[in-house]
Amino acid sequence: MAMNGVLRPGYCQLRVMDMDEALRFYTGVLGLKLVERDASGRAYLKCLDEQDHSSVILRPADRAGMDCYAFKVFDTATLDRLESDLKDYGVATERVAAGELPETGERVRFQAPTGHVFELYAQRTRVGSAFGTHNPEAIIANRQGISPIRLDHWQIHGGDLDGSRDLFTQVLGFSIVERILMEDGQTDMAVWMSCSNKAHDIAFVRDERDDTLHHLSFQLETWEQVLHAADLMTVHRVPIDIGPLRHGITRGTTIYAFDPSGNRFETFCGGYDFYPDMEPITWSWEEMGRGVFYHTRELNERFLTVVT
153 is catalytic: yes
Among residues 53, 157, 200, 214, the one annotated as catalytic is 200
Among residues 215, 275, 294, 295, the one annotated as catalytic is 215
215 is catalytic: yes
Among residues 53, 157, 214, 247, the one annotated as catalytic is 247
Burial (CB < 10 A; 0-12, 13-18, 19+), residue 99, is exposed
Among residues 83, 106, 119, 266, the one annotated as catalytic is 266
**Topology match between the domains 6-121 and 150-305:** yes
Q: How many helices (H) and strands (E) does the chain have?
A: 6, 17
Tens-digit pLDDT profile for residues 148-162: 999 999 999 999 999
Residues 305 and 285: their CA atoms lie apart, in Å, by 17
Tens-digit pLDDT profile for residues 95-135: 999 999 999 999 999 999 999 999 999 999 999 888 888 89
Start-to-end C-alpha separation, the chain: 35
Kindly report whether the peptide bond that precedes residue 244 is cis, defined as omega within 30 degrees of 0. Answer: yes
What is the dihedral angle through the alpha carbons of 253, 69, 61, 144, rounded to the nearest 10 degrees? Answer: 40
Which pLDDT value is given to residue 2?
61
CATH number for the 150-305 domain, one of 3.10.180.10, 3.30.230.10, 3.40.50.720, 3.40.718.10? 3.10.180.10
Which residue ranges of the chain lie beneath pLDDT 50? 1
Query: Of 21, 16, 7, 132, whose CA–CA distance to 71 is shortest?
Result: 7
200 is catalytic: yes
116 is catalytic: no
Among residues 53, 153, 157, 214, the one annotated as catalytic is 153
Please give the CATH architecture assigned to the domain spanning 6-121: Roll (3.10)
Which pLDDT value is given to residue 136?
87
Listed by start position, the domains of the chain span 6-121, 150-305
